[in-house]
Structure 1
Amino acid sequence: MTDKTQQLKAFERLLIIMDELREQCPWDKKQTMETLRHLTIEEVYELGDAILDNDLDEVKKELGDVLLHIVFYSKIGSETNNFDIADVCHSICDKLVERHPHIYGDVKVENEDDVKRNWEQIKLKEGGKTSVLQGVPKSLPAMVKANRIQDKVSGVGFDWEQPEQVFEKVEEELQELKVEIKNGNQDNIENEFGDVLFSMINYARFLNINPENALERTNKKFTKRFQYLEQKAKSLNKQLADMSLTEMDVFWEEAKQLP
């Protein structure tokens, strides 16, 4: 591992390259924060994939891509005299110091939950916020947003006490969904289905499971098994659409045995 001096030199190298690209590269010269936005989102998702795959070499590369975007935005900000990379660094440093009074002040905490509660209380005081939910980005995917909402309200004490209570809520919401399915009102079915998902996401939090990660792992598992099914069908010169569910189930059970 490199020492701090080498790390700072590496970061300086990136800043110099960014300056050169912004001045000399036709593509880099024309970029704005708006044109970079969707690319940044894509890079963060690619980082998330690498993390779930536990591909540390890929994680390193994707972190570099995300870091490049941070430097790029900062470069654009410096050109309009709004902020530069130093301002960005100082901003997060100031925030971290302020939100960790148990490290940089005289506040005492007993555990992680105390830290989270202090964090949310401090955030609420910042910028005249009137709700702990003001910090939840509107554009977050619904599952991630639900998880953040629940996490934030928990930070101010609005939460269940035991996991069993949350699972009872899941069962209650499932029963309400069954009733609406029988009634056949599509709007009510959608509402109750949303309540089931919300309660399941909440239960995941009590099990110390990230629901987004859990669902993505299942997506990857399903994809791998289905592609095995496709390969087996191809080896028999068959189309999946022409196979019975019984035939497909044989290969599906084989796929479940794969590592």
Structure 2
Amino acid sequence: MGDDAPLVELRELTRRLRAECPWDREQTARTIVPHTVEEAYEVADAALADDPVKLRDELGDLLFQVFFLSLLLEEQGEGDLDDVTRAVHEKLVRRHPHVFGDAEARTPGRVRERWEEIKTEREGRIGVFHDVPESLPALLLARKAQRRAAAVGYDWPDLAGPSEKVREELDELLAELARAGRPGPETEPDRAVEAELGDLLFTVVNLARFVNVDPELALRGATGRFRRRVELAERLAAEAGETWTALGLEEQERWYERAKATMGSRAADR
């Protein structure tokens, strides 16, 4: 069998599942897409964990999603996997004239600039915020909108701008919090506080973009570190004969800082 045999086999398997499996038969693009998004996040987790075995497995799951959604297109008479493949091949060639043509782009920054120029000049994209899907997670939606604005020159000239904006928005949020106070449980937030908090998050995303940090991955990493530290703090407290949930905040914080230091020393030993 040729080198493309595994792909042919997966395509045939996808068709058989669609025809013979009661669950697969009932799926539509709307019902399958949540699984596609989930698989994409699992690919991201495997990559961030630097786990090649898990990454290979999760990439397979995501690849099946591509095959399945392409089959749904075929059933609607709107194209098939071959059309999908040809379209992305043509798009990548078109958007890389510095590789497949005479254009020059010697830096990653220039490649990105040229990418946006091509989408506007040759692909008919209209408006600053063309093709920004509202379904993106909020952090990525903010970053994509900011990138679109930066592509037309609406951006800070240096790091001082976004850094100062974060401080400014934080001060505005704190002022609103001082006025409104903390709301009661299960009540709507103060509208002004909500707006200022949104502004602060937006400026933090902009700062992350400015220093080439993916805010979604950065936040996921911070959440993972927090979970691991709390879990270790709980174990350390238990080893000392203490019950984490029965401790006051000061004692919990003491164990948390000990866990943080322990994890830091372990990282240094590697």
TM (norm. structure 2) is: 0.86
Superposition pairs for residues 1-259 of structure 1, below 5 Å? 5-6=2-3, 8-125=4-121, 128-184=124-180, 186-235=190-239, 238-256=242-260, 257-258=262-263, 259=266
Displacement of 1:163 after TM fit? Answer: 1.0
Does the 8 Å contact 2:28/2:72 carry over to 1? yes
Q: Which stretch shows the higher mean deviation, 225-234 or 59-68?
A: 225-234
Does the 8 Å contact 1:123/1:132 carry over to 2? no
Q: Which stretch shows the higher mean deviation, 80-89 or 11-20?
A: 11-20
Q: Deviations over 1:144-185 (max 9, x none)?
A: 111111122222222111112221222222222233233339
3-state SS in 1 of match to 2:44: helix
Closer, same or farther: CA 112–156 of 1 in aligned 2, 3 Å? farther
Partner of 2:185: none
Closer, same or farther: CA 169–129 of 1 in aligned 2, 3 Å? same
Displacement of 1:33 after TM fit? Answer: 1.5
Q: Which amino acid aligns with 1:219?
A: T
Q: Which amino acid aligns with 1:197?
A: L
Q: Which amino acid aligns with 2:206?
A: N
Closer, same or farther: CA 127–118 of 1 in aligned 2, 3 Å? closer
Does the 8 Å contact 1:180/1:189 carry over to 2? yes
3-state SS in 2 of match to 1:45: helix
Unaligned runs of 5+ in 2: 182-189
Displacement of 1:234 after TM fit? Answer: 4.2
Q: Which stretch shows the higher mean deviation, 226-235 or 115-124?
A: 226-235
3-state SS in 1 of match to 2:197: helix
Q: Which stretch shows the higher mean deviation, 119-128 or 23-32?
A: 119-128
Does the 8 Å contact 1:74/1:88 carry over to 2? yes
Does the 8 Å contact 2:17/2:24 carry over to 1? yes
3-state SS in 2 of match to 1:89: helix
Closer, same or farther: CA 20–9 of 1 in aligned 2, 3 Å? same
TM (norm. structure 1) is: 0.89
RMSD in angstroms over aligned alpha carbons? Answer: 2.1
In the alignment, the residues of structure 1 paired with residue 194 and residue 24 of structure 2 have an alpha-carbon distance, to the nearest angstrom, of 45
In the alignment, the residues of structure 2 paired with residue 210 and residue 37 of structure 1 have an alpha-carbon distance, to the nearest angstrom, of 23
Does the 8 Å contact 1:120/1:132 carry over to 2? no
In the alignment, the residues of structure 2 paired with residue 86 and residue 12 of structure 1 have an alpha-carbon distance, to the nearest angstrom, of 11
Does the 8 Å contact 1:77/1:83 carry over to 2? yes
3-state SS in 2 of match to 1:134: coil
In the alignment, the residues of structure 2 paired with residue 109 and residue 209 of structure 1 have an alpha-carbon distance, to the nearest angstrom, of 23
Displacement of 1:230 after TM fit? Answer: 2.6
Percent same amino acid among aligned pairs?
36
